[in-house]
Amino acid sequence: MIIVFILFYLNFILNLHSIHSLNRPLNRIFLTNQKDNSWNWNDQEINYVKYTSNKKQALLLIHGFGASHYHWRYNICELSKYYDVYAFDLLGFGKSSKKTDIEYNVDLWKEQTDNFINEVIKKNTTIIGNSLGGNIALHSMENNYVNSIVLLNAFLELKDNDTISVPKFIINWGSWLYFKFFARETQIKNTLLMLYPENPSNVDENLIHSIINPTKEKNAQNVLNNIIFNMVNSNNTITYQNEKNKNKPMLIISGIYDRWINNNISNTILTIYPNSKRVYVNSGHCPQDEMPILTNDLIHTFISMNKNIN
């Protein structure tokens, strides 16, 4: 009986520690109106942040649709304790360039990612992508510096050949409606609250403004038209080019309460990449910001315990 009580007590203490650890304070980056670091790529300015100290392994954090590097505000500082951490704004988003004479699509962002890793990071890298960023991460696996992938509710459009394309005028009309009626603080907040069902308190003014501010820039509406048109009318299928890509370690973090991503997407990824594992967390679409401590711990554990990551 005494042994049973001791075991019960130890388990109780461990649970208390676990609960406490998931509510410990976090360092975070701050939202500013100024550009951070700037990388000139193909005559366009890519805004990025870096927290580096010459660690062996680097992380590249890629945000989702409509967001920016700020969506990793609770992850960058904490993960930089173990890795060199980089996070950029995809072209057309955040503080990066928004030119109207290019086509915005996954191929462009993949090229941006590959060149950033090759020219700026230049070391072994884990790409961590949320939503659209997960799609880009998957398409960037062939980069020789990339030795692992972490996907957080990755967006992947699984279409058949009979999909009907959406005319551009409809996209433009929808984009106009968005900028006219929905790109407002109240509407953005309500949408974010749907994405953060387990921790709505993290939907704060800074997060909302990090999404609204870029929509006020010149060309923002035209760029959004282009992005949506190409996303709606493309088939972003995934394949692996060789056995090396196929066997790169991959962690899939799926939010149980994510209403935006079909579970078949992660099932498809698991089928294609045998060296992948999936973990479910109590979150919505953006676990890195809704449940950052848990997400940081999962990422660090995955990298540190995987022998295939140098």
Each residue's pLDDT tens digit, 87-130: 999 999 999 999 999 999 999 999 999 999 999 999 999 999 99
94 belongs to a structural domain: yes
pLDDT, residue 262, reads 83
Domain with residue 180: its CATH number is 3.40.50.1820
User: What tens digit of pLDDT does each residue of 194-206 get?
Assistant: 999 999 999 999 9
3 belongs to a structural domain: no
21 belongs to a structural domain: no
46 belongs to a structural domain: yes
12 belongs to a structural domain: no
- Beta carbons within 10 angstroms of residue 153's beta carbon: 27
pTM: 0.87
Q: Tell me which residue range forms the domain holding 121.
A: 42-305
The DSSP 8-state label assigned to residue 101 in this structure reads: S
257 belongs to a structural domain: yes
User: What tens digit of pLDDT does each residue of 216-241 get?
Assistant: 888 888 888 888 877 777 665 565 55
Instruction: Count up the domains in the chain and report the number.
Output: 1
For 86, the token pair is 């980089």
Q: Furthest-apart CA pair in the chain: how many Å? A: 75
- Beta carbons within 10 angstroms of residue 176's beta carbon: 13
2 belongs to a structural domain: no
User: What tens digit of pLDDT does each residue of 239-248 get?
Assistant: 555 566 788 9
Contacts of 98 (CB under 8 A, 6+ apart): 91, 92, 214, 217, 218, 219, 220, 223
pLDDT, residue 71, reads 98
- Beta carbons within 10 angstroms of residue 238's beta carbon: 16
Give the HSE-up count for residue 258: Cα atoms under 13 Å, Cβ half-sphere.
26
190 belongs to a structural domain: yes
